Amino acid sequence: MEALGLNLGYLLVQIFNFAVVFVVLRAWVFTPILALLERRRESIAQGLEDARVASEARANAEKEAREIIAKAQAEATQKIREASERAEVAAREIQVEAEAQAAKAREAALAEAALERDRILADVRGQIAALAMSAAQRLIGEALDEKRQHVLLAEFFSGVKAGEVLVLEGKSFSGASAEVTSALPLTPDEQDTVKQDVLAKIGGQATVAFRVDPSILGGLVVRVGDKVFDGSVAGQLEDLRRSLH
């Protein structure tokens, strides 16, 4: 050693000092630093994992939020559509009900007006008979048989002679219902006579309805199914007018 210029004692002391320093550094510096670095690495790894989990959670939350929003929008759209449909149905029902009520009111008004018209015409019938009798007496210049005049006027307005409907004499037909139109309202007895004569021809199970139309002037118009038997004065005048042309 001395040939090499080395002092063995000093070398050993240096080696011992280095060993002490190494042990001290290892125990008090390297190991804590390594432990600190390991903890730091683990903390960073945990942070990255937490960040990944948080990112996945955020993505899942955003997806769920989009699904919830889409579902809410779909439900809202469905409810709006259902509400609109209910509103339309309610509006149609209200309109139909209003139209039905208006139709009923109109029908009631028309029926009331028809009844009032028939009542007025029934009252006028007697006055017309009196005027016709007076005019006939003035034209002839003498008093006529009042009973006979009443009979003639009754036949004129009712279209019934000797208990039979004039327009149906010699006719043969059948049907389920009949409508009889007169110029003035028929009396109950006249209606009964007309009804019996009509039913005798179309069958006892049929129905007979009566209506008033002053435009036919006198006589009766009987409709059975698609057949019309016109014995009205207006019809006879029209036939006469056609024959003259």
Exposure string over 99-122, b if 16+ CB within 10 A, otherwise e:
eeeeeeeeeeeeeeeeeeebeebe
130 inside domain: no
How far apart (Å, rounded) are the C-alpha atoms in residues 56 and 50?
A: 10
* 1 located within any domain: no
Strand order in the sheet with 177-182: 207-212, 177-182, 220-224, 227-230
Considering the domain boundaries, does residue 3 fall inside one?
A: no
> Could you tell me the two tokens for 29?
């510096």
Instruction: Return the number of other C-beta atoms located less than 10 Å from residue 212's C-beta.
Output: 16
Q: Could you tell me if residue 56 is inside a domain?
A: yes
Residue 19 lies in a domain: yes
**HEC readout, the chain:** CCCCCCCHHHHHHHHHHHHHHHHHHHHHHHHHHHHHHHHHHHHHHHHHHHHHHHHHHHHHHHHHHHHHHHHHHHHHHHHHHHHHHHHHHHHHHHHHHHHHHHHHHHHHHHHHHHHHHHHHHHHHHHHHHHHHHHHHHHHHCCCCCHHHHHHHHHHHHHCEECCEEHHHCCCCCCCCEEEEEECCCCCHHHHHHHHHHHHHHHCCCCEEEEEECHHHCCCEEEEECCEEEECCHHHHHHHHHHHHC
- Residues 158 and 224 both lie in one domain: yes
Q: So what's the pLDDT on residue 137?
A: 54
- Looking at residue 78, its pLDDT comes to 92
Q: What is the radius of gyration, based on Cα positions, of the chain?
A: 59
60/50 Cα distance (integer angstroms): 15
pLDDT under 70: residue ranges of the chain: 1-8, 121-151, 170, 172, 245
Residues 157 and 75 placed together within one structural domain of the fold: no
Q: Please give the tally of structural domains in the chain.
A: 2
Q: What values do phi and psi take at 74, rounded to 5?
A: -65, -45
In this structure, the answer to whether residues 149 and 110 fall within a common structural domain is no
Residue 235 sits in the same domain as residue 154 = yes
Q: Is residue 47 part of a domain?
A: yes
Residue 156 and residue 215 in one domain = yes
158 and 230 part of one domain: yes
- The letter for the amino acid at 34 is L
Residue 15 has what pLDDT?
79
In contact, 206 and 190? CB cutoff 8 Å: no
Q: Which of 114, 136, 166 is the last residue of a domain?
A: 114
Predicted TM-score (pTM) of this structure: 0.49
Looking at 69, 99, 114, which one is the last position of a domain?
A: 114
Q: For the segment 99-158, what is each residue's pLDDT rounded down to a tens digit? A: 998 888 888 888 888 777 777 766 666 666 655 555 555 555 445 566 666 667 777 777
Angle made by CA atoms 132, 134, 139, in degrees to the nearest 5: 95
- Which range marks the domain in which residue 55 is found? 14-114
Structural domain includes residue 6 = no
Amino acid 214: pLDDT: 86
Let me know if residue 214 belongs to a domain.
yes
pLDDT attached to residue 147: 67
Specify whether 108 is located in the same domain as 165: no
